[in-house]
Copies of this chain bind each other. A is one copy, B any other.
Amino acid sequence: MSETYTPTARTRVAREADRGVYDRAAAYEILDEGFICHVGFVADGQPFVIPTGYGRIGDNLYIHGSAASRMLRNLDRGVAVCVTVTLLDGLVLARSIFNHSMNYRSVVVLGTAVAVNDPAEKLEALHRLSEHILPGRWAESRQPNERELKATLVMRLPIAEFSAKVRQGPPIDDEEDYAFPTWAGVIPLRMVVGNPIDDPRLMPGQEVPKYAREYSRKR
């Protein structure tokens, strides 16, 4: 896990090269904190970018959806994909407009996703996807049946060609701008959880479980 990855020409961070991170463990930390990815694929020459959940098992990413979905039907043909995960940490206010920035952590994975046909791997991937998004939930839910498993397509994307990009910390202004009379610094941003909302058809006596009440993406 502490291996340093050698980027390809396609994944080397070309601009702001100091923000490039090629450590597999660092990339996995970002992938494990996020749970929404944006999947890019091409259909009839047009790129599409679709948000979806994901899970990670070892060096593979798993995404899932309806066997009928346009996105996954295309992936099933084995087209090239790009999966991007972005965590936004703050707005960076420099003195100059030009040096304004954002603090963020992102990972880009390039490759070809393939359909998971083995029933055991498929169930394990769905379990991981569920636990990745909300640990503890799987065991307390009604398990998938045969019909539902058939209606679900699971795709595996090896995390082989990837890059991560990280920007943190205060603004970096041009030296002569530090005398410009304006406030500068960082506005931190983070995702928080509100109070769980009971389903209007909740069975009497069902209390909000701890994993819902104390949900957090901090890992």
Chain A residues close to B by CB (< 8 Å): 10, 14-15, 36, 38-42, 45-51, 53, 66, 68-70, 80-84, 86, 88, 90-91, 93-98, 100, 102, 104, 106, 108, 110, 126, 130, 133-134, 137-138, 140-145, 148, 151-152, 170-171, 173, 177-203, 206-209, 212, 215
Contact = CB atoms under 8 A, between A and B. Distances in A.
A51 B104 contact: yes
Contacts of A49: 38-40, 49, 82-84, 108
B171 A183 contact: no
A202 to B, nearest CB: 6
A143 B96 CA distance: 6
A169 B39 CA distance: 25
Given A14-B70, A98-B144, A187 B200 contact: no
A142 B173 CA distance: 11
B189 A191 contact: yes
Contacts of A179: 203
Given A50-B84, A84-B38, A142-B96, A187 B203 contact: no
